[in-house]
Amino acid sequence: MTTDLNTAFADEKARQLAAASDRERQFQARIDRGEIRMISPDRYEVLTGWDRGETFTVSRNARGQIAEIIAQHGLDTRADGTIALYASSPAWHGLGQIIPGGTSDIDTVLALSGLDFDVTTVPAMYVWDGNLRQHADQFHTVRVDTGAALGVVGARYAPIQNRQGFEFLQELVGRFDLVWESAGLLRGGRRVFISIRLPEAVRVDADGINDLIVPYVAVMNDHTGNGQFQCVVTPWRPVCANTERFAVRDAHTRWAVRHTAGATSQIKEARRTLGLSVRYFEQFADEETALARTDIALDEFHQVIADLWPLDDDATTRTRTNHAVRTATLTHRFDTETAQVGRTAYAAERAITGYLDHIAPRRPGKTMTEEIARATAALEGADDDIKSKAHKRLLLLRQT
């Protein structure tokens, strides 16, 4: 049968337009349901589910139709072109190597995530007067598999290898019949992460908003010489460079050790610290439930902001402008959170935490994007002090 090319072309264009129209309807439906919101003309934030707080960019064609949804995941690409991520279930961006239900085999996890590489140190060299010389006190950290330089370190630095550092979690995996939840690498392997889900979950305000908090143990390793090997207990599994980490007030949530010759033996101390952290989650849930049952007026929320970011009487015009912008942004986030969990101190805390993790300005370094700089700050707890202060300040409202 002969096909009229003009008819075939018209039919194909009709199918494309129908698909584009359906995509637009589905996208708008997610906005209408409160699942995503616009934060700039082409940038959106996810408001619900495991991917809450993640951001993505939408590109549009000349007709204004969605052409591509670009995940701001910040993850590296492996040599075979796949994303350097293992996960036990699909992440918000749909990328990586997925084993449904997960695996307890650490070697499989390291291979699928791209973490199966070692790091060594080589002398730092420089050229002077036409001659190659060695810097006696400086070395470069280098990936053994690719030869890529990762950072500059001192003579006492001893790399904590990925497998060596993550193995201590294998005991928990075996004892509680757990699986590895996620693993991946950022910035060419300069930073890597791995996580497991703990067996017990807690609920905030079970008779009210019934918000589920699932504890994870996340371990991060840094090969640049500027960071430590550290582990945290967190309600969110890392699956990208922009994953939120809640601040847990006064909890033993963070343990860290520098890359030195005795570091490996010290990692065993993390087991005791993690035990304390896990037990703390029940107390944490009680405090969050109290916040969820504490109503808060907008002027009270603004007073909390003023306490966290005080404005001096002699502040410059620029400082006052920045303060006003921050207050407006936090107010908008507060309105978004109240639509989800009510006008409560719990919504206020989520607004402040979300602002710090996903909106507050970050200056990227030479080897990272702003998204990765933001993720690094969240995972390393750069804002833990102000999050803790906000938590304590909001708890005072239940006594007034």
Question: Which tens digits make up the pLDDT trace of 296-321?
Answer: 999 999 999 999 999 999 999 999 99
Q: Is residue 120 part of a domain?
A: no
Supply the pLDDT for residue 275.
Answer: 58
**Same domain for 230 and 108?**
yes
How do residues 178-203 score in pLDDT, each as one tens digit?
A: 778 888 887 788 888 888 877 667 77
Higher pLDDT, 34 or 70: 34
Q: Is residue 134 part of a domain?
A: no
What mean pLDDT do residues 71-88 have? 72
**Same domain for 110 and 243?**
yes
Higher pLDDT, 18 or 112: 112
191-197 β-sheet, strand order: 97-98, 85-87, 180-186, 191-197, 216-222, 229-234, 254-257
Percent of the chain with pLDDT over 70: 70
**Same domain for 31 and 65?**
yes
Higher pLDDT, 308 or 32: 308
**Same domain for 314 and 390?**
yes
Residue 131 scores a pLDDT above 80: yes
Q: Is residue 44 part of a domain?
A: yes
Q: Which of 37, 71, 105 is the endpoint of a domain?
A: 71
Q: Is residue 265 part of a domain?
A: yes
Residue 143 scores a pLDDT above 90: yes
How do residues 160-180 score in pLDDT, each as one tens digit?
A: 899 888 877 777 677 667 778
What mean pLDDT do residues 208-216 have? 77
**Which 3 state secondary structure label does DSSP give 11?**
helix
Contacts by residues 107-114 (CB-CB < 8 Å, ≥ 24 positions apart): 109/180, 109/183, 109/194, 110/162, 110/163, 110/166, 110/183, 112/86, 112/183, 113/84, 113/85, 113/86, 113/183, 113/184, 113/185, 113/194, 114/76, 114/78, 114/84, 114/184, 114/185, 114/189
Supply the pLDDT for residue 319.
Answer: 92
User: Mean pLDDT in the chain?
Assistant: 76
**Same domain for 304 and 262?**
no
**Same domain for 333 and 197?**
no
**Which 3 state secondary structure label does DSSP give 334?**
helix
What mean pLDDT do residues 82-96 have? 72
**How far apart (Å, rounded) are the C-alpha atoms in residues 51 and 94?**
11
How do residues 351-396 score in pLDDT, each as one tens digit?
A: 998 888 777 777 655 555 555 565 566 555 667 778 888 888 999 9
Question: Would you place residue 245 in the very low, low, confident or very high pLDDT band (cuts 50, 70, 90)?
Answer: very low
Question: Would you place residue 33 in the very low, low, confident or very high pLDDT band (cuts 50, 70, 90)?
Answer: confident
Domain of 333, in residue numbers: 294-399
**Same domain for 60 and 93?**
no
Question: Would you place residue 68 in the very low, low, confident or very high pLDDT band (cuts 50, 70, 90)?
Answer: low
What's the domain count of the chain?
3
**Same domain for 242 and 104?**
yes
Q: Is residue 185 part of a domain?
A: yes
**Same domain for 236 and 380?**
no
**Same domain for 23 and 93?**
no
Question: Would you place residue 8 in the very low, low, confident or very high pLDDT band (cuts 50, 70, 90)?
Answer: very low
Q: Which of 248, 278, 308 is the endpoint of a domain?
A: 278
Q: Which of 235, 253, 278 is the endpoint of a domain?
A: 278
Q: Is residue 128 part of a domain?
A: no
Output the CA angle 223-228-230, nearest 5 degrees: 115
Supply the pLDDT for residue 287.
Answer: 85
What mean pLDDT do residues 82-105 have? 76
**Same domain for 395 and 329?**
yes
Higher pLDDT, 290 or 16: 290
Q: Is residue 178 part of a domain?
A: yes
Supply the pLDDT for residue 181.
Answer: 84
**Same domain for 261 and 309?**
no
Q: Is residue 140 part of a domain?
A: no
Residue 55 scores a pLDDT above 50: yes
What mean pLDDT do residues 211-230 have? 81
